[in-house]
Homo-oligomer: A and B are copies of this chain.
Amino acid sequence: MRVAIKEDILKEEDRVGAENRRVFRQHGVAVFNLIGSPGSGKTSLIEAAHRELAGDLAIGVIEGDLASDKDTVRLRGLGLSALQINTGRGCHLSPLMIKEALTEIKLESLDILIIENVGNLVCPVSFDLGETAKIGLVSVAEGDDKPTKYPLLFREAEVVILNKIDLVPHSDFSREAFYSGLRAINPAIGVIEVSCRTGEGIGEWGAWLRERVSSPAGR
């Protein structure tokens, strides 16, 4: 019985996710579900996207955090339209949370909506929020073995952003080990190396977003 009820809940979540996707498509908004560990640089990556695309493509943000509105305040300070969801003890954003948030977001004024999920490399992967694509974010400081140890995200993401590459000389991170682990999980996945701190690779990140917005595949 427990299992049946769990399945019911998941089915309902999937239904709401599909409904969100229809709404996003109707408004022609590309939606990215950004998933990474605490401190991998999710908010910094969104800030960098805003700087790259500002005046050209309008980005909105939904911020998922257990507590605090620090990131939302930070993003609004840059002129971004951002909405905070606090999950309390919740380890992921759910399709229903997104559906409710959409009542407060003017989708018609956006080209891109980035959903910054709760910092967690595991649970958020299991929920379809209705996004165009999942983006996996991992930082050099987390070590080169993350794809092998947390394969779920790396199987489902369309692209992986490897952040904090400025730390490579100050760590034991091996690009060879990282790429070989990642390719074993998902041979086709794209990777963009960036440092949100130095700006390296951010042009490529912006170009990926532009390309993804103009390409209808998967929308």
Contacts and interface: CB of A to CB of B under 8 A. Distances in A.
B66 A119 contact: no
A148 B68 contact: yes
Number of copies: 2
A37 interface: yes
A190 interface: no
Interface residues of A, number: 43
Interface in A5-56: 5, 9, 37-40
A113 interface: no
A164 B143 CA distance: 12
Given A120-B121, A122-B66, A39 B152 contact: no
A91 B66 contact: no
Interface of A: 1-2, 5, 9, 37-40, 65-68, 70-71, 89-91, 118-123, 126, 138-139, 141-143, 145-146, 148-152, 164, 166-167, 170-172, 197
